Structure 1
Amino acid sequence: MNTTYQGQNKQTALITGAAGGIGYQLACLFAADDYNLVLVDRNGVMLVEIAAKFQEKFGNFVTTIVKDLSIPTAPEEIFAELQQANIKVDVLVNNAGFGVYGLFHETDLAGELEMLQVNLVCLTHLTKLFLKDMVKQGEGKILNVASAAAFQPGPLMAVYFATKAYILSFSEAIANELEGTGVTVTVLCPGSTASAFHERTGMADSKLLKGKKMMDAQTVAEIGFRALMKNQTIVIPGFMNKLLAKSVRFVPRNLVTKIVRNMQEDK
């Protein structure tokens, strides 16, 4: 763990997957809004650069934690490091996540188990650890990054879509449980977003993405940030994404699945 500057009397936001994409853009927004930051990512080089940039530009207290969230002990280690440093987390942003593309019977099991750990187990574990103190203090915010994929099954990304459905359901449920506690939960469900995500998953040539203009990560982050500050529970950036998310309830599930399969295919 590395700390670049101790700023006093500011709230602190912890962001996972903060070295790029939506996570980085959210970190920029929190920094500009005068939050101290705890940035978590496995890319330590990028975290150091980001911390230096934020310290110079905003004067924030930035703590960087280099951690592979696919390792089961990572959430406890993060929590313990922050407790030892006496850093209280006021806002938890569970942004880290990745996908695996392909037919389930052909994809790599080890990669999918790591994805379950990052997308689902780590998110749940971190929420459990930090939420208890938030409830005791009577204030706090949690932003969980799901996806428009959460609203339907996803052939060719079966496990990824399922993890996002879990995040949506989990977030809605605990948001309800927390009513009246002073703690709020927001779940951000973006559609396809311009980032390195699609190249990593190998689906950049799918019908869903090829030749299509995607929303940029900064816009998605700004929409999610505003929703978090307004204590909204579910936010879906983009009119078409909202329409599609709402329309699936009126279409037979087997037809929805076939449509998603067609969109996910690369030919």
Structure 2
Amino acid sequence: MPLRDAVPSSHGAGGTGAERPGTALVTGATAGLGWSFARQLAERGHDLVLVARDADRLATVASGLRSAYGVQVEVLAADLSDPLELGLVERRLAEPDRPVSVLVNNAGAGLRGRFLDHDVEQEQTMLDLLVTAPMRLTHAALGPMTERGHGAVLNVASVAAFLPRGTYGAAKAWLVRFSTWAAAEYAGRGVRVAVTCPGFVRTEFHQRMGVAPGRGPLWLDADRVARQSLDDLFRGRPLSVPTRRYRLITTAARLVPDRALQRLQTLGR
């Protein structure tokens, strides 16, 4: 099903109305995959709610999307590792008069080094961002979506979910299991849930950890990853692994013992 046809209009009850795109909320929306998700959703007619920490950058991105695609763009500056600011986004998702039909939980961060190289509070902040935030935002979105009988949630995980890669991989593995369960649980109520597991993507994600993006065959283009992830979501595929090469890696990871995979622990989103 095409992306713009994924969300039925509230005027389409009984099959008498046309379908239309709804409003999409994207976290981590000012750069990398988040920006690609936002741009592709706007391109297909979705109004947007953009969430990120940097208010100035949000305003710049929103202005560009309004000008380019003629959609309405709302901005919400929030640090999703902060419970109070996370609550602002939860409340926006729950607003009955301004429904959100598509949620993309994209915001993320990683830590360079091993578990004991980090202060435990750094690990806690990462866990809050990678697990607590998408869990709470998905919960906030699913209530209204199931009541309306339509909606879609895309969670951004990583191929690290299939590898023994410390707390980052463990957090992404949780997100994969949670999302695939939710896909089955809420399909009968008209809501699609999916999780995408990209590998290396050329974005700011690695730069923020002090890792320079590479140019080898394992490094992917953000637009390509976003496009395939959204297509899989709206085709009803609960698990998306962009590109054949990464599908082969995740398949092999299920067959190889963890001890052997330990040498690949740096492979991730």
Corresponding residue number in structure 2 for 1:221:
226
Contact 2:78 2:86 in 1 (8 A): no
SS of residue matched to 2:131: helix
Corresponding residue number in structure 1 for 2:15:
none
TM-score (norm 2): 0.87
Corresponding residue number in structure 2 for 1:147:
158
Structure 2: how far apart are the matches of 1:18 and 1:210? 22
Q: Taking structure 1 as reference, are residues 119 and 216 closer, same or farther at Cα in structure 2, changes over 3 Å only?
A: same
Give the one of 20, 28, 36 matched to 2:47. Answer: 36
Q: Deviations over 1:55-103 (max 9, x none)?
A: 1122111110000111012332123346569321100100000100112
Corresponding residue number in structure 2 for 1:163:
171
Question: 1:21-60 maps to which residues of 2 (within 5 A)?
Answer: 21-60=32-71
Deviation of the 1:13 alpha carbon: 0.3
Question: 1:12-23 maps to which residues of 2 (within 5 A)?
Answer: 12-23=23-34
Q: Taking structure 1 as reference, are residues 48 and 181 closer, same or farther at Cα in structure 2, changes over 3 Å only?
A: same
Q: Taking structure 1 as reference, are residues 173 and 83 closer, same or farther at Cα in structure 2, changes over 3 Å only?
A: closer
Unaligned runs of 5+ in 2: 1-19
Structure 2: how far apart are the matches of 1:74 and 1:123? 13
SS of residue matched to 1:122: helix
Matched, 1:239 2:250: no
Corresponding residue number in structure 2 for 1:254:
259
Q: Taking structure 1 as reference, are residues 255 and 83 closer, same or farther at Cα in structure 2, changes over 3 Å only?
A: closer
Question: 1:100-111 maps to which residues of 2 (within 5 A)?
Answer: 100-111=111-122
Corresponding residue number in structure 1 for 2:104:
93
Deviation of the 1:45 alpha carbon: 1.4
Q: Which region of structure 1 is more displaced relative to structure 2, 108-117 or 128-137?
A: 108-117
Contact 2:104 2:154 in 1 (8 A): yes
Corresponding residue number in structure 1 for 2:17:
none
Give the one of 186, 190, 203 matched to 2:194. Answer: 186
Corresponding residue number in structure 1 for 2:8:
none
SS of residue matched to 1:180: helix
TM-score (norm 1): 0.87
2:31 is matched by which residue type in structure 1? Answer: G
SS of residue matched to 2:109: coil
Unaligned runs of 5+ in 1: 1-8
Q: Percentage identity across aligned positions?
A: 34
Q: Taking structure 1 as reference, are residues 62 and 85 closer, same or farther at Cα in structure 2, changes over 3 Å only?
A: farther
Count of residue correspondences: 248
Q: Deviations over 1:189-248 (max 9, x none)?
A: 0010001111212344xxxx6563411111111111111221211111121110010112
Structure 2: how far apart are the matches of 1:127 and 1:84? 14
CA RMSD of aligned residues (A): 1.9
